[in-house]
Amino acid sequence: MIIAIDGPAASGKGTLARRIAAHYGLRHLDTGLTYRAVAAALLARGMPLGDEAVAIATARNLDLGHLDRELLSSHEIGEAASRIAVLPGLREELVRLQRAFASEPPGAVLDGRDIGTVVCPDAAVKLYATASPTERAKRRTAELLSKGKEADLETVLADLQRRDARDSSRSVAPLKPAEDAHLLDTSEMDIETAFKAAVDIVDSVRAA
């Protein structure tokens, strides 16, 4: 079984995906980390972010089963990842790797921005997690502060809105819900409520 969870940054999709994967005994892949891993490698080697051939070669050396969320969580890496995500050849290579990961038994939960539309259009269940920009900014700010990092709501909100605009307007695989995705607005939900709502959706689709 493949479950696709898409949504903008700080919508709660990553936490949901990890919880759902554990609940159903499936593997989990945060596809955003694949872009961050490539970006981090390019930055570490001082390579230009616009060199598609180098980015593709870097992607081919990734181990999708061992991506370190903490190491890849910096703002600098996130910005670089958003920039290289527009490279069509790199996207094609990473999508190939992501599909291979998803197809291995017993299945997987993948979260990202184009899982239900591009990576796994035939996923058994598709969820699109969203929340208001202000709520998402509050969550991201709290997350950063809890890690001892500097953050203020206004700056985080502006950053999220800039990334939303870039992700939703790009020509290749723009951020948007799949036509058959179940929308889950988590603006007024804590993680437990959102998780239960998501499980209800998955169970209802499986029972249909």
The binding site comprises: 7-15
Nearest to 86 by CA among 2, 152, 171: 171
The residue among 176, 13, 173, 10 whose CA lies nearest residue 85 is 173
> 150-167 in b/e burial notation, b at 16+ Cβ within 10 A?
ebeeeebbebbeebeeeb
**3-class SS of residue 183:** strand
Are the C-beta atoms of residues 139 and 12 closer than 8 Å to each other?
Answer: yes
Sequential DSSP letters for 151-166: --HHHHHHHHHHHHHH
CA angle 171, 173, 175 (to 5 degrees): 100
CA dist 73 and 80 (Å) reads 12
Handedness of CA 8, 192, 199, 188 (dihedral sign): negative
- Residue-wise over 26-53: b if at least 16 C-beta within 10 A, else e? bbbbbbbbbbbbbbbbbeeeeeebeeee
Residue stretches of the annotated binding site for ATP: 7-15
